[in-house]
Structure 1
Amino acid sequence: MDVSGKTVLLTGGTAGIGREIARQLKSKGAHVILTGRDPERLGAMQAEGFEAMAADLSNAAGVDALVAALGDRRLDILINNAGQLIDHDFRKGAPDPQAADAGIYANLTAPIRLITALVPQLRARPEAAIVNVTSGLAVAPAARQPVYCATKAGLRFYTLALREQLKGTAIRVIEALPPVVDTQMNDGNPMNKMPADECARQIVAAIEQRRDEANIGMTRTLRLVESISPALARRMTLRF
């Protein structure tokens, strides 16, 4: 897919991987509408020439407001990138159930609702794409992040089924599975981290090449191990 001239809705586009995706798509001639929650970050992206919309995707009202603001605008690519890392570790104390609810909504329910609302606009285009950013942890979970892993695994299986449903249409359904990336979300993670701009580059390349999956960095190794022995893949990740 040639992204030049395409209109892209990118959720979570003011920091980390999303910000780098936005910059790279813009440099290739795409018009990027990005969402975020932080007013300062939204303002910074507007100063870079992006169309930025405030949106809290951790609840139904926020998703509905975003869909209403978009109206019937032309849309060629939807990138569900926004996500929340939920601290849910009983070894550290009692987890916050409200935080878990918000994370489940942002990571899983919001992408499903956005896809449901926007597929008609995407179908109207001669070529279109839906990109769901999951995680290597959608393949095998880490013990300290069970809610995050569950939501990303859920989005992975939703993506696989959606791709089958939309087979033969103009909409390409792409899953991007990043490894641990050097973003604010992973500030406390001691593991080696991929630079956000390189992760974004590989996601954009998957869109351009119309690939079904982008297994990025160490996720490629994890996917290989998982194809041979799912139990071994789980042992590798559960210790984290």
Structure 2
Amino acid sequence: MDVNGKSVLLTGGSAGIGREIARQLKVKGAKVLLTGRDTARLAAMESEGFETLAADLSSAAGVDALVAALGDRPVDILINNAGLGVPHDVRNGLPDPDAADGCLYANLSAPVRLITALLPRMRARPEAAIINVTSGLAIAPNTASSVYCASKAGLRSYTMALRAQLSGEPIHVIEALPPVVDTQMTADRDMSKMPPQECARQIIAALEGNRPEANVGMVKLLRAVYSISPALARSVMRRF
């Protein structure tokens, strides 16, 4: 897909991977409307020339408010990048069930609801694309982030089913599977992390190449190990 001139709706676009996707798409000539929850970060993106909308996608009301704010504007490319990470480890006491609910909604239910709302207008475009950002943890979970892993695995399954449902239509359905990326969400992790600029570059390359998946960085190796031995891949990831 040639992204030049395309209208993009990017959730979670004011920081991290989303911010770099927005910047790189803008350089390529796309018209990017991005969402976020932090007003200061949104203002910073506006100063770079982006159109922004404040949106909290951790509830149905938040998703519906975003759709209402869009009005009837066209959407050629929808990138479901917004997400939440919460610790959920019963070895450290009982986790907060409300935090788990918010994570599950933001990471799984919100993309499903947003796609359902926007699909009619995307079907009206000559060519369109949906990118759902999941995680390498959607393939094999780690131990401490069980709810986050479950939400991303659910979105991975949904994306694969949606791709099959839309086969034959001019709507490309792409799953982006990042590794550990250097963002605010991973600030407390003392490990090797991919720069968000490179992660964004690889996701956009998959979009431009009409590829069904963007297996980013070390996720390529995880996919290879999983194809040989799912049990080995799960065993390795449980150590993190």
Normalised by the length of structure 1, the TM-score is 0.99
- 1:113 and 2:113 equivalent? yes
Q: Aligned with 1:26: secondary structure? A: helix
- Which string of whole-angstrom CA distances, capped at 9 and with x for unpartnered residues, describes residues 176-208 of structure 1? 000000001001112210000000000011111
Q: Tell whether 2:214 aligns with 1:219.
A: no
Alignment of structure 1 residues 3-82 onto 2, 5 Å: 3-82=3-82
Question: Distance in 2 between the 1:34 and 1:62 partners?
Answer: 15
Inter-partner Cα distance in structure 2 for 1:172 and 1:156 = 15
Report the Cα distance in structure 2 between the residues aligned to 1:86 and 1:44, rounded to whole angstroms.
26
Task: Classify the secondary structure of the residue corresponding to 1:110.
Answer: helix
Structure 1 consecutive aligned stretches of length 4 or more whose deviation exceeds 4 Å: none
SS of 2:116's equivalent in the other structure is helix
TM-score (norm 2): 0.99
SS of aligned partner of 2:21: helix
Match of 2:180 in 1: 180
CA displacement, residues 122-168 of structure 1 (integer Å, 9 cap, x when unaligned):
11111100000000000000000000000000000000000000000
Percent of paired sites with the same residue: 71
Counterpart of 1:234 in 2: which secondary structure?
helix
Matching residue of 2:99: 99
Matched ranges for 1:113-192 at <5 A = 113-192=113-192
Report the alpha carbon displacement of residue 213 of structure 1 after superposing the two structures with TM: 0.3
CA distance in structure 1 between the aligned counterparts of 2:124 and 2:12, rounded to whole angstroms? 25
1:113 Cα deviation after fit: 0.2
1:120 offset after TM fit, Å? 0.7
What RMSD, in angstroms, separates the aligned Cα atoms of the two structures? 0.6
Q: Distance in 2 between matches of 1:196 and 1:93?
A: 33
Which ranges of structure 1 fall in alignment gaps of 5 or more residues? none
Count of aligned pairs: 240
Whichever residue aligns with residue 184 of structure 2, its letter is: Q
* Residue in structure 2 matched with residue 237 of structure 1 by the alignment: 237
Structure 2: segments with no counterpart, 5+ residues: none
